[in-house]
Amino acid sequence: MLKCTTFDGVKGRGILLRVLFSAVSGLFCFVLLLGQNLVPNGGFETFSSLPTGYAQLCKATGWTSASNACTLAPGCGHPDYMHTAGGAGVQAPNTTFGTTMPHIGNALIGFTPWYLVGVTNFREYPRITLSSPLVPGQSYTVSFWTTNGTNPYSGWGINNLGVAFTMAPLSQSCGAPLTGVVPQLEITTVVYSSTWQLHSFTFTPTQPFQFMTIGNFHNDAGTTAAQMSPTGGMGAYYFLDDVSVSLTVPLPIELLAFDAVCDGSSVRVHWSTASESNNAYFTVERSGDAEYWLPIGTVSGAGNSQQPTQYEFQDAEALTGAGYYRLKQTDYDGAFDYSPVVSAIACRDKEVLQRWMVDASGRICSTWPVATGSMGTGIYLVRTEYTDGSVATAKVAVLQPY
């Protein structure tokens, strides 16, 4: 069973493994979906009004700054809300703070956990009230995505990005660090990436916490910083998206892989399971906008199985533009789960010649999709060669032998 976990809840029981494939960014990650998200508006899509300038986190419904600031106040912490329909400086992807699209959807936020120029011990903290208190002794999956984007100003990365769960909302004095708070979850290594990265933790609370705050809970002396971009000398700035806290629950199936790739002018939807429990069948659904879904076929499940099982469905009537796919998994008793979405590029634009799995040394390890039992753990590239001579690559993380 893969150990990468995810960020969002879906209808039904909401218990499926997701594979997120972005043809634009070339990222590929196996992600486990584990139940209803207790973080309201974890993707920042809901808002009271669109952002028109800096420091307007409070316009993302439910989110506030630990400083309580929602307008620009020099020297005070005030995370930024950005949207693809936002105003100048806060309109993704080209914002004042860097260039990046939201991880999913149209919105994201950004915050400064460490500053180099002009101000010492400056911090910003986004915070949220969970939809219900955590249950002491229960296991939760906590996750969020970050990127530094392409940033001409803040080219530093830091360690100690943390998550604090508390019984009451945390408050800071202007931009001062919350050094009196010990976060339950923390990344001790320096974090920096121009693409989106998933950070995932398992957390068992000891109290019924209902408040969550994200940021750097150390002063400058206790923070390790590294300049990762020669053009960004002002400090560290992180874009944040898809924040999730979800109860860990048993899986009706364990998915090892799920993808949708072009095969000529059609799309081949492939997935594989490590084990199944009472799995009657899968329904493959397609959408042109990731909102309205059309069932396009069913594939019988393995019922009860502890062996790897491969599945494939050929969509011979693929959309002319980009298409989106998801699985609806139905049990014998009629209960069902939806997977999140995988995307396929406009397949009628190019025809795939061949696909290969390539290791870090550039050696071809296998064709793609991977044959069961052929891959060890590690980071690989999927190299796609098209009939027009072009080549595309995507990164794959194999987190258990497959």
Per-residue pLDDT of 128-164, as tens digits, reads 999 999 999 988 989 999 999 998 888 999 999 999 9
Distances from the Cα of 218 to the Cα of 112, 143, 238, 279, 309, angstroms: 13, 21, 16, 48, 47
> φ, ψ for residue 220 (rounded to 5)?
-60, -40
- What is the average per-residue pLDDT within 4-19? 30
- Residue 402 has a pLDDT of 54
- Residue 74 has a pLDDT of 82
Q: Are 237 and 98 in contact, with CB atoms under 8 Å apart?
A: yes
pLDDT > 70? residue 202: yes
Distances from the Cα of 149 to the Cα of 10, 23, 96, 105, angstroms: 28, 17, 11, 16
Most confident of the ranges 16-20, 44-48, 228-232, 273-277: 44-48
Integer Cα distance of 142 and 68 in angstroms: 24
Distances from the Cα of 32 to the Cα of 194, 200, 265, angstroms: 23, 10, 30
Is position 5 within any domain?
Answer: no
pLDDT: which is higher, 26 or 322: 322
Give the structural domain span for 317.
Answer: 15-32+250-350
Q: Are residues 213 and 115 in the same domain?
A: yes
Within 10 Å of residue 8's Cβ, how many Cβ atoms? Answer: 20
Q: Are 206 and 135 in contact, with CB atoms under 8 Å apart?
A: no
Integer Cα distance of 93 and 96 in angstroms: 10
Q: What token pair was written down for 288? A: 């042109």
Q: Are residues 159 and 308 in the same domain?
A: no
Is position 173 within any domain?
Answer: yes
Predicted confidence band at 95 (pLDDT cuts at 50, 70, 90)?
very high
Q: Of the candidates 214, 247, 280, which is a domain's last residue?
A: 247
Q: pLDDT by residue (tens digit) across 242-290?
A: 999 988 755 577 878 888 888 777 889 999 988 888 899 999 999 887 7
Residue 44 forms beta bridges with which residues?
none
Integer Cα distance of 170 and 237 in angstroms: 21
Q: Are residues 125 and 262 in the same domain?
A: no
Whether the CA torsion 314, 316, 320, 324 is positive or negative: it is negative
Is position 62 within any domain?
Answer: yes
Q: What single DSSP character describes residue 133? A: P
Is position 120 within any domain?
Answer: yes
Task: Sort 298 into a burial class: Cβ within 10 Å, 0-12 / 13-18 / 19+.
Answer: middle
Q: Are residues 220 and 118 in the same domain?
A: yes
Q: Are residues 85 and 218 in the same domain?
A: yes
Is position 383 within any domain?
Answer: no
Q: Are residues 71 and 99 in the same domain?
A: yes
Which among 1, 6, 85 is positioned nearest to 341, based on CA atoms? 6
Determine the 3-state secondary structure of 71 from DSSP.
coil
- What is the average per-residue pLDDT within 164-184? 96
Q: Are residues 272 and 309 in the same domain?
A: yes
Task: Sort 320 into a burial class: Cβ within 10 Å, 0-12 / 13-18 / 19+.
Answer: exposed
- Residue 84 has a pLDDT of 96
Is position 371 within any domain?
Answer: no
Which among 94, 87, 80 is positioned nearest to 52, based on CA atoms? 87
- Residue 317 has a pLDDT of 86
- Residue 393 has a pLDDT of 61
Within 10 Å of residue 182's Cβ, how many Cβ atoms? Answer: 10
Q: pLDDT by residue (tens digit) across 305-315?
A: 888 999 999 99
Q: Are residues 204 and 110 in the same domain?
A: yes
Q: Measured between alpha carbons, how far apart are the two ends of the chain, in Å?
A: 10
Amino acid identity for residue 287 in this structure: S
CATH number of residue 310's parent domain: 2.60.40.10
Integer Cα distance of 214 and 201 in angstroms: 13
Is position 402 within any domain?
Answer: no
pTM: 0.59
Is position 8 within any domain?
Answer: no
Which among 168, 186, 176, 56 is positioned nearest to 123, based on CA atoms? 176
- What is the average per-residue pLDDT within 23-49? 65
User: How many structural domains are present in the chain?
Assistant: 2
CATH number of residue 212's parent domain: 2.60.120.260
Q: Are residues 224 and 258 in the same domain?
A: no
Q: Are residues 233 and 281 in the same domain?
A: no
Q: Are residues 228 and 276 in the same domain?
A: no
Q: Of the candidates 304, 329, 350, which is a domain's last residue?
A: 350
Q: Of the candidates 196, 218, 247, which is a domain's last residue?
A: 247
Integer Cα distance of 359 and 355 in angstroms: 13
pLDDT > 70? residue 367: yes
- Residue 233 has a pLDDT of 77
Q: Are residues 269 and 288 in the same domain?
A: yes
